[in-house]
């Protein structure tokens, strides 16, 4: 399957309205009475829970790449955290990401960075990219799991329940900042991995794509910005390999390994790391 030009692709109106409504909801942060420092604190905490533990650690390193193993209850917890990021169903997300790695920066890559920053950042989502026949094949390890199916199908109602909990705890400021502002921030942080880290930064490895290590993306995504390292060794649980390449997610995985909750942790061979000193 080779992607056609956007002019020949049908628009995905569901995604367009979905992204637009969340952005509109975030604008209510500028309405008087919707700001409080407690609400900002809730947003930052949920940013880490949903974007850090959920998307980066759970959906990406644990599930998409199986960089390590965890007890099933812990895997489900991380997948649930990722569901709260509201970036679509987990099965589709994992399938799309695995597909991206198969064809990174080539014509079959849905968010091919060769098509420009906006396309790889978010523009690709506004069109219907027919990948559905491929998804079951590359998500065989999760597609029939009832917990994954539930979280995949009901991520929007789950978000609504979180909104009700936040409203009960702190009223509309908690909803505006804990749901809408947080969703937009986490989404754009995730999207920067598709766009910025294929355009800005340096390359440590000669990977067969345009991936780069971008320090500022690493800061807002808990270590995902060391993207060239990741694309060169996709299976590695550690993305930051230099002493100054801060990788908070790898620190959490190391803690889980110390506690016996992360096993079979896959890493870049030591001789490769030594050669990059």
pLDDT (tens digit, 9 = 90+) per residue, 175-203? 999 999 999 999 999 999 999 999 999 99
- Tell me, yes or no, whether 215 lies in a domain: yes
Residues 5-25, mean pLDDT to the nearest whole number: 88
Give 109-144 pLDDT, tens digit per residue. 999 999 999 999 999 999 987 665 677 789 999 999
SS (H, E, C) the chain: CCCCCHHHCCECHHHHHHHHHHHHHHHHHHCCCCCCHHHHHHHHHHHHHHHHHHHHHHHHHHHHCCCCECCHHHHHHHHHHHHCCCCCCHHHHHHHHHHHHHCCCCCCCCCCHHHCHHHHHCHHHHECCCCCCCHHHHCCCCCCCHHHHHHHHCHHHHHHHHHHHHHHHHHHHHHHHHHHHHHHHHHHHHHHHHCHHHCCCECCCCCCCCCCECHHHHHHCCCCCEHHHHHHCCCCCCCCCCCCCCCHHHHHHHHHHHCCCCECCCCCCHHHHHHCC
- Tell me, yes or no, whether 18 lies in a domain: no
Using alpha carbons, list the distances in angstroms from residue 66 to 38, 63, 137, 142, 180.
Answer: 36, 5, 16, 12, 30
What percent of the chain is modeled with pLDDT above 90? 87
pTM score over 0.85: yes
Range with lowest mean pLDDT among 72-76, 98-102, 154-158: 98-102
The answer to whether the beta carbons of residues 213 and 203 sit under 8 Å apart is: yes
Give 223-240 pLDDT, tens digit per residue. 999 999 999 999 999 999
- Tell me, yes or no, whether 13 lies in a domain: no
Domain extent for 87: 32-124+138-275
Return the pLDDT at 9.
79
- Tell me, yes or no, whether 112 lies in a domain: yes
The tokens of 86 are what? 């509201």
Among 60, 57, 55, 59, smallest CA distance to 234 is for 60
- Tell me, yes or no, whether 157 lies in a domain: yes
Number of structural domains the chain divides into: 1
Residue 171: how many other CB atoms lie within 10 Å: 14
The answer to whether the beta carbons of residues 201 and 208 sit under 8 Å apart is: no
The tokens of 188 are what? 């754009």
Among 210, 248, 273, smallest CA distance to 61 is for 248
- Tell me, yes or no, whether 199 lies in a domain: yes
pLDDT at 146 over 50: yes
- Tell me, yes or no, whether 3 lies in a domain: no
- Tell me, yes or no, whether 214 lies in a domain: yes
């Amino acid at each position: 399957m080779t992607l056609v030009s956007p002019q020949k692709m049908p628009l995905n109106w569901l995604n367009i309205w979905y992204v637009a409504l969340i952005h509109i909801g975030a604008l209510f942060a500028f309405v008087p009475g919707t700001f409080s420092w407690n609400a900002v604190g809730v947003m930052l905490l949920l940013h880490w829970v949903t974007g850090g533990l959920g998307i980066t650690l759970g959906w990406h390193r644990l599930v998409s790449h199986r960089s390590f193993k965890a007890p099933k209850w812990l895997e489900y917890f991380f997948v649930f955290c990722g569901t709260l990021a509201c970036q679509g169903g987990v099965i589709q997300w994992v399938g799309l990401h695995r597909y991206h790695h198969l064809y990174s920066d080539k014509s079959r890559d849905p968010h091919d960075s060769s098509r420009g920053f906006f396309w790889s950042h978010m523009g690709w989502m506004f069109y219907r990219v027919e990948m559905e026949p491929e998804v079951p094949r590359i998500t065989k390890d999760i597609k029939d799991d009832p917990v994954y199916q539930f979280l995949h199908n009901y991520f929007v109602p789950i978000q609504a329940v979180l909104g009700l909990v936040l409203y009960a705890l702190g009223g509309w400021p908690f909803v505006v900042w804990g749901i809408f502002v947080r969703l937009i921030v986490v989404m754009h942080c995730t999207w920067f991995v598709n766009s910025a880290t294929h355009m800005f930064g340096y390359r440590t490895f000669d990977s067969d794509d345009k991936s780069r290590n971008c320090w500022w993306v690493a800061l807002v995504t808990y270590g995902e910005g060391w993207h060239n390292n990741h694309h060169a060794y996709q299976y590695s649980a550690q993305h930051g390999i230099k002493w100054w390449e801060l990788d908070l997610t790898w620190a959490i995985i190391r803690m889980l390994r110390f506690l016996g909750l992360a096993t079979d942790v896959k890493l870049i061979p030591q001789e490769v790391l030594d050669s990059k000193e």
